[in-house]
């Protein structure tokens, strides 16, 4: 069984992420969405909240499981016997940092192959940070995130 890890902060997951995930799930037998537990960052949503929301958003994705990890991604890959890392590319400027991470991960673990999936062009300008900023100001974000995220963002910023 070929398992891939799709790691990230997912604070919160967007339609851009989901588009990458859907296509990754066509390439692998199982894709694990790995939410990074990063004590250095102050996320809007807790890891548990993010996992819960991603599970709801991917309920119809049969090959996808959702989990969290701490520490090095390659150690998590070994633990889950994953053969690949999936990362989405929105634009050329993403590539520089992503390629650096791919090389470093391979240096750390020779079996770590990174698979880059270009995002759907209609989401190429989308990011979790922009979505949060829009939501904070009450803008319509329904085109950018699934309903569960839209509701969760509304609840965070406006309490309902
Ligand atoms: O969604 P993000 O924040 O761009 O994801 C970054 C992520 C989680 C892929 C990266 O920070 C990561 O893999 N962190 C785990 C720690 C690690 O393995 N660092 C070395 C990477 S070369």
Question: Looking at the predicted structure, is the pLDDT value of residue 11 above 90?
Answer: yes
Which element (helix H / strand E) includes 8?
Answer: strand 3-8
Does the domain at 3-124 match CATH 3.30.2350.10? Answer given as no
Assign 62 a pLDDT band (cuts: 50, 70, 90).
very high
Question: Looking at the predicted structure, is the pLDDT value of residue 160 above 80?
Answer: no
The per-residue pLDDT for 119 is: 94
Helices (H), the chain: 15-27, 47-57, 73-80, 92-108, 128-136, 147-158
The per-residue pLDDT for 41 is: 87
User: What residues have CB less than 8 Å from 7, skipping those under 6 apart?
Assistant: 34, 36, 69, 73, 76, 85, 87
Residue nearest to atom 10 of ligand 1 (CA): 8
Question: In what side-by-side order are the strands of the sheet with 64-69?
Answer: 64-69, 30-36, 3-8, 84-89, 113-118
d(CA 22, CA 48) in angstroms, rounded, equals 22
The per-residue pLDDT for 94 is: 93
The two three-digit tokens of residue 54, written as one number: 């991603």
Radius of gyration for the alpha carbons in the chain, expressed in angstroms and rounded: 15
The per-residue pLDDT for 71 is: 97
Which element (helix H / strand E) includes 65?
Answer: strand 64-69
Q: What are phi and psi of 33, to 5 degrees?
A: -80, 115
Residue nearest to atom 11 of ligand 1 (CA): 8
Mean pLDDT of 108-114: 97
Assign 90 a pLDDT band (cuts: 50, 70, 90).
very high
Say whether 55 is catalytic. no
Measuring from each residue's beta carbon to the nearest atom of ligand 1, which residues come in under 6 Å?
Answer: 7-9, 36, 72-73, 101, 104-105
Mean pLDDT of 55-65: 96
What percent of the chain is modeled with pLDDT above 70?
100
Residue nearest to atom 18 of ligand 1 (CA): 72
Say whether 90 is catalytic. yes
Mean pLDDT of 115-121: 96
Burial class (CB in 10 A: 0-12, 13-18, 19+), 142: exposed
pTM of the entire predicted model:
0.97
Question: Looking at the predicted structure, is the pLDDT value of residue 60 above 80?
Answer: yes
**DSSP characters over 30-61:** EEEEEEE--TTS--SS-HHHHHHHHHHHTTT-
Atom of ligand 1 nearest to the CA of 100: 22
Burial class (CB in 10 A: 0-12, 13-18, 19+), 53: buried
The per-residue pLDDT for 39 is: 87
């Amino acid at each position: 069984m070929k398992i891939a890890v799709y790691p990230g902060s997912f604070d919160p997951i967007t339609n851009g992420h989901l588009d990458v995930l859907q296509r990754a799930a066509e390439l692998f037998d199982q894709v694990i969405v790995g939410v990074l537990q990063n004590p250095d960052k102050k996320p809007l949503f807790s890891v548990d909240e993010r996992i819960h929301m991603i599970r709801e958003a991917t309920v119809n994705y049969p090959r996808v499981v959702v989990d969290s990890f701490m520490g090095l991604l390659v150690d998590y890959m070994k633990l889950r016997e994953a053969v690949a890392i999936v990362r989405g590319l929105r634009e050329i400027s993403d590539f520089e940092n992503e390629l650096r991470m791919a090389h470093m991960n391979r240096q750390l673990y020779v079996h770590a192959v990174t698979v880059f999936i270009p995002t759907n062009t209609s989401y190429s300008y989308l990011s979790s940070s922009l979505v949060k900023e829009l939501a904070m100001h009450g803008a319509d974000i329904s085109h950018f995130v699934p309903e569960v995220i839209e509701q969760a963002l509304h609840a965070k910023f406006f309490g309902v």
